[in-house]
Structure 1
Amino acid sequence: MMRRAIWPYVLLMAIVSPVTIMIFYAPLQIVAPIVYSKENSTAHTDPTVKGCTNRMCSQEQRFQLLRSHCEKNPQLKDSYDEEDSQSYSHLLVDDKHKVLYCALPKAASTTFYNMFYYSYTGKFLEETHCRSCWQKLGLVFLSYISKPERDILLKDYYKIMVVRHPLDRLVSCWNEKFTRQNQHSTWLQNGPRMIEMFRELQGNTTLKQEIKKGASFNEFVRYANYLEATEGEEHDQHWRPHHRLCHPCSIDYDLIVKVETLQEDSKAVLHKLGLNQSEFPLINARRTGESETLNLEKTLTEYADIGDEDMRRIHEIYDHDMQLSGYEWKDDEYKARCGAPCNQNGCC
């Protein structure tokens, strides 16, 4: 197969940029095989916000919401070209388990890379983006596979997409890539430029001195808005909208995993990869004071200093991501929500 011939040359540059974030883990218990699909799904009830309850949507509900928004917005297919290999540059191919995984940056990708690596080797990655480690396993991205074989895998393999509230994902990107500017290529490619564009020099301060101070979140948001409005420029993959990376309106996924419900959703993934509690005891679990398993609401005070116009424009960039996956934003409290807390019809 063509894939076998080319993978030694694949440097896995789409394993999405270096990720050095620290993951917080909590035990995950699997008491019986669990399989989530569009046909076989479950719902979960759990407390989330004070005085309210909310629940995890079934997979069927998640796909109904996604399909409904796709049907109402046919333009969302414009970024997908089935003939262009770059449309598949974030789909990791796991032949052993017949799985395709859309690796969305800043959406628990480190955890998922470790799952796949462990399912092959019984070990965790010392460096998530160890190119030689991945090459030896034969794991490649779908963009490196010939179209005839690619079409077969898209039809026959189990396809997993992981999503995250886009405004939370944007904050995570800024914290990881722009607050420690000397450690990331993303900073070198974008940081000095955004400071030069959006920061006014004071007194005898030089641009070089300002760059050393790092970028503010306000500048980052303005920069993201600028890129969206500038013809011919694309967002870095770490904050590009997920519908432009995973193409959920064009690719028929089998499982939608949400970072907000990861501890529950990941059970289906672990089962698919043949892993269990003893083999993979660590899983990313984001917690709130009201819930041990779900984190459906998060306060993001980073947006408190963002002006109304910039906030309106950033909403426009991620509006489709929010509607495809049932995410909400409460402006006056800077709350990112999954589902509709206190609404009997709401779920994440």
Structure 2
Amino acid sequence: MALKQLQSSVSYRRCFKRTAFIFVLAAVCLIVSGASYHHAKVKTAISAALTSLSTKPDMPSNSPFTEETRNVSYSNELQLLAGNHSDSVQQILKKLFTAGQKRKPDKHFMEEQAFVQFQRKKTLRQACRRHPYVMQREQSSGQFFVMEKSQILYCSVPKTGCTNWKRVFMVLEGDRPNTENISGNDAHFSNNFKQLSHRRLLRDIRKYDAYTKFLQVRHPFVRLISAYRNKISGETPLVNQGEEFGQMAEYIVRKYRRGAGIEDYNLSTLHVTWAEWIRYLTDPTERRDFNAHWREVYKLCLPCRINYDFIGNLETVGSDSGFMLDHLGLADLHFPSSRAAYLHDSEKRGEALFDQYFGNVSREDIQRLYDIYKVDFELFGFEKPWQLY
């Protein structure tokens, strides 16, 4: 009986999908054939067809599909066919029929990844409701970049693979032919991206409502490790890190290291220990307005105020980047993961780093750190550290 119900529901859904898709193709054909319809009328026709795709039909009363399952399915179909309703006719055509695309996206992969995105956005919305003060937040940092040719709005979170994404965006914008010879400095300082002012962010961002809005995150504690190793520890000589990080490292040593001598402040040899770094982060007397490299993502990117189309995760950057680029009709452009060894099997590497650095951190300090980054943990679906259970 259950099998018959399932077959009936599937048949019903397929019939609906065929009918709705015919409307889309018919509207597209009107444009492609050069029919003399007014542009607004054609756009209305496509919008109506897309609406029919996104609207749930009246399913049989004995359907085994849950309400949420139907929502997921039609959300995915809409994403795969044409993006969102705010897209222009040209954008819809581009997503339906990408000219010159050598490799067609794998349908199963796209459906699977669309579901991943659905779950991430659902987790984000639920967490935003649990933290209403985050939903009211307006102040942000200058981390928003606009790529006008490719129509992408990107919130760049340091230590989440942002350098590689900027390489990709430089190619999309026509600044470079490929990602191979773009240095880290060029990616950050020689791009032609428009940077939005944090003071007028929520007002200015409305101009880009039809753009693809993108954010990539990382496990908060692993991001802290990366920031420590790259900017503070001295593993990369602080004399090469810029004045801000050198001064901060010197300040940490001066405040938390007993008996520090003058030799401890030589930027060529200065090393901040992991224990000193943890003390600085968890010190209640320190300001919580952290440097962007370890500032909370919800403060950098306002995820409860801005409706992101894609939420990437560095731990799954291979599949996430493939899905985003395929969705944009750029299936032959690849995320330059070969440049950084940590991007290969990143999840296992993150676990190893966590054990290495947090293995000897007290439960109390882990709790203090978690309390600082708790909102990020919840917004982006990261598991609470096992030491706190």
User: Which of 192, 196, 199 is residue 142 of structure 1 equivalent to?
Assistant: 196
Residue matched to 1:113: 166
Alpha-carbon spacing, 1:304–1:254, altered in 2? closer, same or farther (3 Å): same
Greater strand fraction, Structure 1 or Structure 2: 1
Aligned residues: 272
- The one-letter code matched in structure 2 to 1:215 is V
1:168 to 2:222 alignment: yes
Please, which of 27, 40, 43 is the counterpart of residue 112 of structure 2?
43
Residue 94 of structure 1: aligned partner: 147
| RMSD of aligned Cα (Å) | 3.3
SS at match of 2:145: strand
Cα deviation 1:247-266 (Å, max 9, x = unaligned): 10111111111111110010
Q: Report SS of the residue matched to 1:92.
A: strand
Specify every segment of 5 or more residues in structure 2 that has no aligned partner in the other structure, as ranges: 1-101
Which structure would you say has the larger Rg? 2
Q: Verify the 8 A CA contact 2:104 2:331 in the aligned structure 1.
A: no
Deviation at 1:142, TM superposition (A): 1.8
Q: In the alignment, what sits opposite 1:7? A: none
- Which of residues 213, 223, 232 is equivalent to 1:159? 213
Q: Distance in 2 between matches of 1:304 and 1:294?
A: 17
Which of residues 194, 198, 221 in structure 1 aligns to 2:252? 194
Unaligned runs of 5+ in 1: 1-29, 45-55, 82-86, 335-348
Structure 2 matches for 1:1-348, cutoff 5 A?
A: 31-33=103-105, 42-43=111-112, 58-81=116-139, 87=140, 89-119=142-172, 120=174, 121-124=176-179, 126-130=182-186, 133-134=190-191, 137=192, 139-143=193-197, 150-178=204-232, 179-180=235-236, 181-185=238-242, 186-201=244-259, 206-209=261-264, 212-226=269-283, 229-231=285-287, 234-271=289-326, 275-277=330-332, 279-280=333-334, 282-283=336-337, 286-288=343-345, 295=348, 298-299=351-352, 300=354, 301-332=356-387
CA distance in 2, matches of 1:281, 1:296: 19
Structure 2: distance between partners of 1:217 and 1:41:
41
How far is 1:158 from its partner?
1.0
Mapped partners of 1:319, 1:76: distance in 2: 12
Q: TM-score, normalised by structure 1?
A: 0.68
CA–CA distance in 1 between the matches of 2:197 and 2:210?
17
Give me the whole-angstrom Cα distance separating, in 1, the residues matched to 2:365 and 2:291: 19
> Normalized per residue, which structure has more helix?
2
